[in-house]
Amino acid sequence: MNTTSTNKKIRDLIVDIRNNKLIPAPYFQRRLVWTNKNKSALIKTILDGYPFPEIFIASGDINLETGEGYSLLVDGQQRITTINQYFLNSPELKLTNGVPPYENLTVEQKEAFLQYIVVVRDLGHPSDEEIIEVFTRINSTNYSLNAMEIQNARYDGAIKNFAEIISQSKFFDTKRIFSAADIRRMNDLKFTLTLIITIISTYFHRDNELENYLAMYNDDFPYENLTEELSFTFNFVDKCHFPERCRCWNKADLFTLIVELHRVLFKDKISLSQDMVSNKLQEFYKKVDEIDTDQPKEDERIFHEYLKASQQATNDRSNRIKRGYTINELLVSCQES
């Protein structure tokens, strides 16, 4: 594929978008997920006269009667859309860090902005398959990404950063909840993100809500008290002094315990006896581990049901609810008199 590098002024790109000669969001592009902080940083880069990476375009269909045609933006959607939003004073762009709106620029600043040079890599007129292949290669890495890694690459906002801070808590480190492989593939971030979303909403199926909440709280995460509440919850679990081999340190069990303990302490505002919680939970987990799964007795049904919910399809919503209901009842029974 032969490519050429050209320069275009921002004003040319804006006019092309307005006249539908440059399509900034072809069907294969990703949704816009930049935060307003990201967008503001790009605008400041332009206003300060610094360069940003080249964009890629390809020729679209040509009207053989009129000779008119259009170009597709293969890579650079977020940058060009942000530039267009800035010029149009779009309400979708909320500027941060003191970046002035376009309408407040001086005549000289507006002219410099519109005359700013963007490096454009023209791919010519490749087929749809070739365009998608180029886009995929530009945005790929040398190994297959899991869902959390893809979301991490797409979202760099408030809730993701909050979950990242929580995942690095000393609590998880000292208990060795996450393996080196977990951390390398961002499963620690996935765990804490799922934990946080569940706490502020309710149990959901597998990873179904992650992207919705990453988008919803990309710019702002208004749960200021959650840091303190989670810290208190982690400390409460710590003070239970569960044995090293206690099943509560399994991810599914720990997830349920944290969610339900937080619910009881901060949503239901129930004061719990630390000693009672420690004793009852240790006894409960011990019975779950000792149960005869082939022939459980009638009075062991609750332990058997919990065990199944923590071993099979542990991330299904139904099993998360089953485990949560059991642990919640146990915790409530430890209310201080």
- C-alpha distance from residue 250 to each of 1, 155, 222, 308 (Å): 52, 28, 30, 14
In a 3-state reduction of DSSP, which class is residue 127? coil
- Three-state SS at 319: helix
Task: Give residue 143's pLDDT.
Answer: 45
**Which range has the worst mean pLDDT, 123-137, 150-164, 276-290?**
123-137
Neighbouring C-beta atoms of residue 101, cutoff 10 Å: 11
Looking at the chain, the whole-number percentage of residues with pLDDT higher than 90 is 66
pLDDT at 294: 74
- Estimate the share of the chain in helix, then strand, then coil, as percent rounded to the nearest 5: 55, 10, 35
- Say yes or no to pLDDT of 144 above 60: no
What pLDDT, in 10s, does the model give residues 195-254?
Answer: 999 999 999 999 999 989 998 999 999 998 999 999 999 999 999 999 999 999 999 999
b/e code 288-310 from CB counts within 10 Å (16+ = b): beebeeeebeeebebbbbbbbbb
The distance of Cα 253 from the centroid of its chain, to the nearest Å, equals: 23
Q: Could you read off the pLDDT of 26-57 as tens digits, one per residue?
A: 655 555 567 888 899 999 999 999 998 889 88
Find which of 44-58, 103-117, 140-154, 177-191 is predicted with most confidence, using mean pLDDT.
103-117
pTM: 0.67
Instruction: Please state the rounded mean pLDDT for residues 17-28.
Output: 80
